[in-house]
Structure 1
Amino acid sequence: MTDPGGRRWVDEDDVVLLDALHVNPRASFEQLGAVLGVSAVTAGRRWRRLTEAGQAWVSSAPGPRMPLAGALFEAECEPGRVAEAAAGLAALPHVFSVHLVSGSRDLYALVAAGDNRTLSRLLLDQLPTVPGLIRVRTSVTTEVFSGQHWRLGAISAAQAGAVRAQEPGDQEQVPDRTLDQFDRELFLALQDDGRAGYRALADQLGKSEQAVKRRISALLRSGAGRSRSHSGCGCRTSSWRASGGTWASGLRPGSAWPWWGRPTCSSPSSSTACTPSTACCAGCAGAGRRSASPSGRSSCGR
């Protein structure tokens, strides 16, 4: 079935496949087929159809131990220029994702940089100059609580457990490690295709397959990186049609545990992070407002 524009709607079987890939984004089609009761050929065909239509993809994502400085960038846009502003933000390499929303703001973006100085330049000098913005609001990320519990609710707990049991990231974590050039090149290669095979990655990076396999496992187990599946598509299933965001303030003292002190879902603030419908949960500080300027540095606003 297609929409009036000719784009194919996602059906229930697609959502089942996507939910399994949320659990383990790098699971093989043979593994997915065995868990979901379809052939590897069928699982692969459905996945290729979704990716070719731009409706789903898998990429690398920063883990809780990757040394990054992040922020939430919110903006109000000029009438009729929301899509233009979103496209301008999405084209910037430090912008992880851009979301159009309803309410007091028109869009928000998740931004990351290698250090606080670079992040400051982005938030103060670069992002507010994107054409179409009127006012912006920035909040610096202090802690990230979630990112790997997000689910669509289309497969059973037993099916999810079978997929998760084959995921190398579930092994015992390794100590903190300093990322080298190989790690960075591998992470960026997986940004383009998070399901790329070991042989393809080895050819691209000039390394052996075993070296690539070991390094991916080390990134996952160290918490520096993770794989993540994404979907942004039209869907006529009743359980998955829209997304939203919730902003909470005034957490009671002691309710926000840093990831290294409480890695489970036992604290009050992290309980939201562990709900299956939460794609991302983070603690932020700030929320400074500015008027956007099409040329030059943004100016502070009241």
Structure 2
Amino acid sequence: MTQDSTHALDHVDQALVHALQIAPRAGWARIGAALGMDAVTVARRWNRLTDTGAAWISCHPAPAMATSGQGCLAFVEVDCANGRLLSVARELAEERHVSAVAHVSGDRDLLLTVMAPDQVALTRWVTHRLGSMDGIVTTRTHLASTVYAEGSRWRLRALDGDQISRLTAEEVVGPDAPAFPLTALDHRLVAALSVDGRATYRALADACEVSADTVRRRMSRLFAAGMVQTRCEVARPLSQWPVSVYLWGQVAPGDLRAVSAQVTGMREVRLCAGVISRHNLKLVAWVRSLDDAQRFEVRLTERVPGLTVADRAVALWPMKLNGHLLDERGYRVGAVPLDVSGLPHV
């Protein structure tokens, strides 16, 4: 069940979502204290938001996992046969290593975000699985190099400075421990957390068939090393930024890091990643309207003269985001656990 997409979040719900964007797994007492509310009320509010698909909390592998040599990220463009787009998209959305699926405007039908343990596994999946899937005409794969920013940094900005300070005081900012080889248990934990980023230690222990103490220790190590990232999402119509824009740009190789720092300073930007392809930078931004999409591009090029925007697209239907399935309006209707430990045999 979803609520009417014309309804906006009230100021309390906006504050609650913003608080959980800062501290996704914080206890309700801590969240309530920052908002000036009791724990029972904020928990009830959150349950209503999740029950209607208006907001949710997920967990996904962080860039540190790839930089430690335990995965690679790719953006795959898919062209579909006439009349087969929906069936192909739904089939791909059920793949545990496909974290995002979007039907987009422009020169491709679908955009996928794919996680793989290595380039060999990715190549095998693209050539054999996608290459043999009925309804797919052609694909193009673009490898990500460095992810400079991702969606967990995006905020509603409903809290004041004091509230933000109270919530950030206990949050870990950046990795404070080295990356390490993930075990099978770590991958099971990430998969369970990807469906419910606020799952309790007890619930995770039951799902993974280990003790709650073991779960607590493994999760503490994962988060300390910055290998996973938990984030709170909100249905796009309720964010007042309902349009997702994809931009591909060209930057002088030596300026890529500096340009990316300028780009990620813009509020609208949700993703900024270097890519090894015909273009070397990919951006995803949330904007207020189609007109605002063009205004955003103007602001972007004025702010970052070293960036040339070479291609652009708009999400017509973001069908899957970070493992969570969305309806045509952007409300959550389900989830597929994320799994980067391996790809299905093909």
Short-chain TM bin: 0.7 to 0.9
- Report the residue type matching 1:255 in the other structure: D
Residue 11 of structure 1: aligned partner: 9
State yes or no: 1:158 paired with 2:162.
yes
Q: Indicate the residue corresponding to 1:294 in structure 2.
A: none
* Alignment partners' CA distance in 2, 1:222 and 1:140: 24
Whether 1:117 aligns to 2:139 is: no
TM-score computed with the length of structure 2 as normaliser: 0.70
Encode CA deviations 1:160-206: one digit per residue, 9 max, x unaligned: 33222222x33761122221222222212212211001222233334
1:56 alignment counterpart: 55
RMSD: 2.7
- Determine the C-alpha separation between the residues in 2 that align with 1:225 and 1:140: 20
Partner of 1:166, secondary structure, is: coil
Which residue in the other structure is 1:262 paired with? none
Residue number in structure 2 paired with 1:279:
270
Residue 142 (structure 1) aligns with: 145
Identical pairs, percent: 35
Matches within 5 A, 1:248-267: 248-249=249-250, 251-257=251-257, 267=258
For residue 179 of structure 1, what is the amino acid of its counterpart?
Answer: L
Instruction: Flag the 1:60–1:144 CA change in 2: closer, same or farther, 3 A.
Output: same
User: Distance between the aligned counterparts of 1:182 and 1:233, measured in 2?
Assistant: 33
Corresponding residue number in structure 2 for 1:260: none
Change (3 A) 1:40 1:81: farther
Per the alignment, residue 291 of structure 1 pairs with none
DSSP-derived class of the 1:246 partner: strand
Contact 1:76 1:134 in 2 (8 A): yes
For residues 8 and 123 of structure 1, do their structure 2 counterparts lie closer, same or farther at Cα, with a shift above 3 Å needed?
A: same
The residue identity in structure 2 corresponding to 1:125 is H
Deviation at 1:110, TM superposition (A): 0.5
1:82 aligns with: 85
The alpha carbon displacement at 1:80 in A equals: 4.8
| Kept after mapping to 2: 8 A contact 1:138/1:287 | no
Shift of the 244–46 alpha-carbon distance from structure 1 to 2, 3 Å rule, reads farther
- Residues 1:192 and 2:171 are matched in the alignment: no
Partner of 1:240: 241
Aligned mates of 1:124, 1:85 — CA distance in 2: 16
Looking at structure 2, the residues matched to 240 and 202 of structure 1 have their Cα atoms a distance apart, in angstroms, of: 37
What is the CA deviation profile of residues 1-27 of structure 1, one whole-angstrom value per residue up to 9, with x for unaligned ones? 953xxx783423333322222222212
Answer yes or no: is 1:36 the counterpart of 2:43: no
Amino acid at match of 2:87: E
Structure 1: unaligned runs, 5 residues or longer: 258-266, 289-302
Cα 1:268/1:242, change in 2 over 3 Å: same
The residue number in structure 2 matching 1:100 is 103
Q: CA separation of 1:275/1:128 partners in 2, compared to 1, >3 Å: closer, same or farther? A: farther
User: What is the number of equivalent residue pairs in this alignment?
Assistant: 272
| Structure with greater strand share of residues | 2
Q: Contact 2:58/2:196 (CA < 8 Å) preserved in 1? A: yes
Deviations 1:213-253 (A, max 9, x none): 23212111212112122233543x6x33222222112x123
C-alpha displacement of 1:99 = 1.9
Cα distance 1:240–1:34, how it changes in 2: closer, same or farther (>3 A)?
A: farther
Q: What is the CA–CA distance in structure 1 between the aligned matches of 2:6 and 2:201, rounded to whole Å?
A: 31
Q: Which one-letter code corresponds to 1:60 in the other structure?
A: C
AA partner of residue 162 (structure 2) = A
Structure 1 residues 165 and 82: CA distance shift in structure 2, 3 A? farther
3-state secondary structure, aligned to 1:25: coil
